[in-house]
Amino acid sequence: MIDPEQQQAPPALPQPPHRYDGIAKVTGTAKYAAEFREPFPRKDLVYAFIVQSTIPSGSVKAIDTHAAERASGVIAVLTPFNAPKLPIGPPKPPGKRSLSVLQDNEVHYNGQPIAVVIARTHIDAISAAPLLKITYDAQPPKLDFLNRLNEARPPKQPGKEPPHQSVARPDATSAGTPAATIDQTYITPIQVHNPMEPHATLAWWEGEKLTVYDATQYITGDRMSLAGIFSLPLDNVHVMDPYVGGGFGCKGSSWSHVALCAMAAKIVQKPVQLALERPQMFGPVGHRPSTVNKIKLAADSDGKLLLVQQDVTMTTSVMEDFLEHSESPARKLYHSAQIHTSTAMVDMNIGVATFMRAPGESSGTAVFEIAMDELAENLSIDPVQLRLINYAERDPTDDKPWSSKHLRDCYTQAAERFGWSKRNAKPGQMSEGNNLIGYGMATATYPANRSAAQAICRFLPNGRVFVGSGTQDLGTGTYTIMAQTAAEELGLDVNQIDVKLGDSTLPKAPVSGGSQSAASVCPAVQDACKQAKLKAGTAAIADTQSPLHGVLAADLDVHAGRIFLKKDPSKGEDLTELIARNGSKPIEAEGSAEPGEDKTSMTERSFGAVFAEVAVDRDTRMPHVRRIVATYDIGTLMNKQTGINQLQGGIVWGVGFALHEEAYIDPVTGRTANENLADYHVPVNRDIGTLDVTVLDIPDTKFNPLGARGIGEIGITGAAAAVANAIYNATGVRVRSYPITPDKLLRA
């Protein structure tokens, strides 16, 4: 049911036949960071290659560069012993990532940048790197996470929420006696982002002005970081990135290679390109931390939760804490008499972790939703019914109302489409040929985030409209929905809108992370269009040759390229005529949008229900996901094509989380042993069965004017647990350590 308190739903956005950037991408005209060569002659571009440490802990005693410097094409070699000292030292960039920019000789992890080779060609730079003779002073490293849990400590840099949190209801002391309890440990591994486009930066200087093309999710963050590192005014730094080939969080921070590329360009006084190789994506640019989760659940005979407790211990770099709130789903999903969560960290000689698609909620739902499944079995209650019994009508920890929540409808719709009623609750009872068949489900959730954003709208002399914002498109469809938003507000065909983003000279927008770009940028685009209409009205009123001269601004409207009187639409003129009479100067205005005061009075969150069917070979125990059915409550679906694609992509990643992904850190050398896509497994087409994804499409206008919450991350949440629970239903073997591989099923 639609909340009667919800405001009137905004009009549906026009749906273009294809993505705004689709033709450019399929024809190869879309350029990514590593592909730019302008505005300098091709012969002027040189290439840099990062040399990485081969020990996990200690220091670099010396680097003999003579052989490398004499190698073919080499222009310079930067090391901690000759690199320029930065004016004020490297500050913490947006995202608070510690950088390795050759300012000291300390080594904190195997794979840390310790030198840069600059050469005339990419091959020359790579070929010269092994010629460096590096002498280390090695120290005992901190590795082997699972055998050092006794060294766990509280976070040094707690996030927005306290690392320890407890909630007890007023009637908690009088709660009933537990009829069933769960007390288990669940483990998630280190995972690495690996977008199709690796990180790449191209930088050049013109005097004290720095221009950069960078594969980034945050051009404004890059700009602020580089300005701080090189002690430059913000206006002296220009960052561009019109297309991003995936990011998933690793491109949300300005990592060491960005500053090193700019440093190299400053030294050689030439444009420099620095593109990371695939193995260099493992370590220097972030990962999802590994977690050990001790979860206790207790419920009475009716299935009502009496206790939810989750104590998380996670890996963190000796360089810097990165706190991922894996306990968040335990605090937000279900009503319980008592909720207790805590977080602790174990120092490791590994690279700094970072946000990875649905940080916290992905790993949190992966483990907590297994525990809920185990509790349901102990109570002999259907897993969906257990979740409905403990349905949270309000935020369980903050006791705030939801801005909008329709999770019940998600359970009902997805379960019906999936055929959940046919499930046999007893494991190992369904089969087909040599396969054991299992059904599983889980709840999906992710916060609805929104930040301040700005945009510009410009009516052009040729009748087209330009809109721009300093945001980014990671392949999620930001170009498309910006065009849709402008088209709807101005009453134009989507094809009449020109969109520009990925340029730091445009009005400021937030990082494309936390599923906030659509919810932040599109309201700003909408406001910019409104402001441009007001500007057009002002121009018409002041123009003595306009049929609207002297009328009241409140009586005017702009639609489909015309400005006219609301009460008499026949009285007006085309905007092109108005612009032509005024020197053909475009009419433009900036707009902005930001979260309202309601943000503190309610909890804004998205939800979903995920159902999975798996087949497990009786002999090899090889699992295969045959189908996944999911329904999500994400507010307004702004674009059906790009939106469903995002949710499907998240589910695919959830399957990878469940069955494939794990970065193995060698406990002796600290090196990632599987630092390539041959050994670091991710799902391919054959691993994914049928994906049946729908959304409720109920606007959440309490959250923002468009009623839309972000969807880039919720798709991965719940999917891993749904697969894990289905595997248990098929085999009767409960695996509590991801990924769930055949060897773990065979050992049980």
Is residue 228 classed as helix, strand or coil in its secondary structure?
Answer: helix
> How many C-beta atoms lie closer than 10 Å to residue 208's C-beta?
11
Give mean pLDDT, residues 234-256.
97
| Position 484 pLDDT exceeds 80 | yes
User: In DSSP terms, which residues pair with 468 in a beta bridge?
Assistant: 456, 500
Give mean pLDDT, residues 9-25.
87
**Cis peptide bond upstream of 39, omega within 30:** yes
Is residue 529 classed as helix, strand or coil in its secondary structure?
Answer: helix
CB neighbours of 684 closer than 8 A, spacing ≥ 6?
none
C-alpha distance from residue 55 to each of 62, 108, 115, 317, 330 (Å):
14, 8, 14, 15, 38
User: Do the beta carbons of residue 438 and residue 427 sit within 8 Å?
Assistant: yes
DSSP class of 567:
S
DSSP class of 286:
-
User: In DSSP terms, which residues pair with 623 in a beta bridge?
Assistant: 616
DSSP class of 55:
S
The pair phi, psi for residue 291, each rounded to 5°, is -130, 145
Rounded to whole angstroms, how far apart are CA atoms 632 and 696? 6
Residue from 317, 245, 312 nearest 286 by CA: 317
Could you give the dihedral angle defined by the CA atoms of residues 576, 578, 584 and 587, in that order, rounded to the nearest 10 degrees? -90
DSSP class of 85:
P
- The residue count for the chain: 748
For the entire predicted model, the pTM comes to 0.96
Task: List domains and CATH numbers for the chain.
Answer: 22-26+451-593 (3.30.365.10), 360-449+601-747 (3.30.365.10)
Q: What pLDDT, on the 0 to 100 scale, is given for residue 170?
A: 67
Express each pLDDT in 504-557 by its tens digit.
999 999 999 999 999 999 999 999 999 999 999 999 999 999 999 999 999 999
Kindly list the catalytic residues.
713
Average pLDDT, the chain: 94
Helix (H) or strand (E) holding 362: helix 361-379
**E runs forming strands in 464-622:** 465-468, 497-500, 556-559, 562-565, 572-574, 587-593, 605-617
**E runs forming strands in 318-352:** 338-348
Is residue 395 classed as helix, strand or coil in its secondary structure?
Answer: coil
Rounded to whole angstroms, how far apart are CA atoms 577 and 582? 9
pLDDT band at 92 (very low <50, low <70, confident <90, very high): low
Q: What pLDDT, on the 0 to 100 scale, is given for residue 1?
A: 39
Give mean pLDDT, residues 98-107.
95
| Position 144 pLDDT exceeds 80 | yes
658-661 — which CB contacts under 8 Å span 24+ positions? 658/366, 658/719, 658/720, 658/721, 658/723, 658/724, 658/738, 658/739, 658/740, 659/623, 659/625, 659/683, 659/687, 659/723, 659/739, 659/740, 659/741, 660/687, 660/739, 661/189, 661/191, 661/192, 661/739
Q: What pLDDT, on the 0 to 100 scale, is given for residue 15?
A: 86
Express each pLDDT in 587-629 by its tens digit.
999 999 999 877 789 999 999 999 999 999 999 999 999 999 9
C-alpha distance from residue 386 to each of 37, 173, 383 (Å):
58, 22, 5
Q: What pLDDT, on the 0 to 100 scale, is given for residue 648?
A: 98
User: Do the beta carbons of residue 488 and residue 525 sit within 8 Å?
Assistant: no
Rounded to whole angstroms, how far apart are CA atoms 457 and 106? 49
| Position 400 pLDDT exceeds 80 | yes
Q: What pLDDT, on the 0 to 100 scale, is given for residue 175?
A: 63
User: Do the beta carbons of residue 703 and residue 638 sit within 8 Å?
Assistant: no
Give mean pLDDT, residues 25-31.
95
Q: Any idea which residue has 């300012």 for tokens? A: 103
pLDDT band at 166 (very low <50, low <70, confident <90, very high): confident
Tell me whether residue 418 is exposed, middle or buried, using C-beta atoms within 10 angstroms of its C-beta: 0 to 12, 13 to 18, 19 or more: buried
Is residue 109 classed as helix, strand or coil in its secondary structure?
Answer: coil
Strands in 133-138's sheet, in edge-to-edge order, are 106-107, 58-64, 133-138
